[in-house]
Structure 1
């Protein structure tokens, strides 16, 4: 789902600003996915183009090619439909998939950049007592 070599290259090139720019991807992507879903619901073909273009470019910057590819399909199809004056009903499955891919991509980015999320849970605090009923009547 993520080209980690591309991701690490972007991290190295962006240096200290990487986390900030990645947070912009989260914010812009969340907004763009919502705009695409609303445009589909309202059958507003032109409103699909810019948010799909935004996700496409930002996803490619971080190596999230499957997300970029589906956003590009939405963008290109919407542009064609604007020219032919029709609504792209055929994009409904891709728009649904876009939300899923975006959420999965964000989770993977979080695991890669947040050391607290990358650690395996160790259970609770300390060890669990073998006698859990002690003191109960």
Structure 2
């Protein structure tokens, strides 16, 4: 199970992300902020538990990260967290060390960072989503000074 390639899983499913955004309405940015904080804490807990080779301590933060990631359509991150949770549960049952998770645990933080950058870029109302969209100036009378690029 440890050799699962998560690179084939889309980083973010934008349809599911948009649905969550619509469902959360005005609370969306606040909840996305909680996900950022909780996700960072969960990843730190996973890394600490893995360093200690403590399968029991891997389960809860991986489970939390799995669910919260899926809520925002972050399926690659969710899949990685699910793998960590399932392997950790198996390791507990068979009294094994979770050594086989090293590649997934090492890849978890970079995946979270990349995912959050994409979610933030889409969620930020100040970021133009497509060049040339309605309301965006193509020329500035004052040159480029003060213009968001």
Asked if Structure 1 and Structure 2 have the same fold, meaning a TM-score greater than 0.5 normalized by the shorter chain, the answer is yes
2:12, 2:75 within 8 Å by CA — same for their partners in 1?
Answer: yes
2:84, 2:101 within 8 Å by CA — same for their partners in 1?
Answer: yes
- Name which of 117, 127, 130 aligns with 1:107: 117
Q: How many residue pairs get matched?
A: 124
Gaps of 5+ in 2: 1-10, 132-143
Change (3 A) 1:118 1:98: farther
Q: Decide which structure has greater helix share.
A: 1
**Alignment correspondent of 1:11:** 21
- Name which of 32, 49, 59 aligns with 1:49: 59
TM-score norm. by structure 2 comes to 0.78
RMSD: 1.8
Q: Is 1:97 the counterpart of 2:107 in the alignment?
A: yes
- What is the CA-CA distance between 1:115 and the residue it aligns to? 3.3
Q: Which protein has the larger Cα radius of gyration, Structure 1 or Structure 2?
A: 1
Q: Is 1:36 the counterpart of 2:46 in the alignment?
A: yes
TM-score norm. by structure 1 comes to 0.84
Q: Which runs of 4+ in 1 moved over 4 A?
A: 117-120
After superposition, what is the alpha-carbon deviation per residue over 1:48-78, rounded to whole angstroms, capped at 9, x for unaligned? 0000000100000010111100100000000
Q: Is 1:125 the counterpart of 2:135 in the alignment?
A: no
Gaps of 5+ in 1: 127-137
**Alignment correspondent of 1:86:** 96
The 3-state SS of whatever aligns with 2:96 is: coil
Q: Is 1:73 the counterpart of 2:83 in the alignment?
A: yes
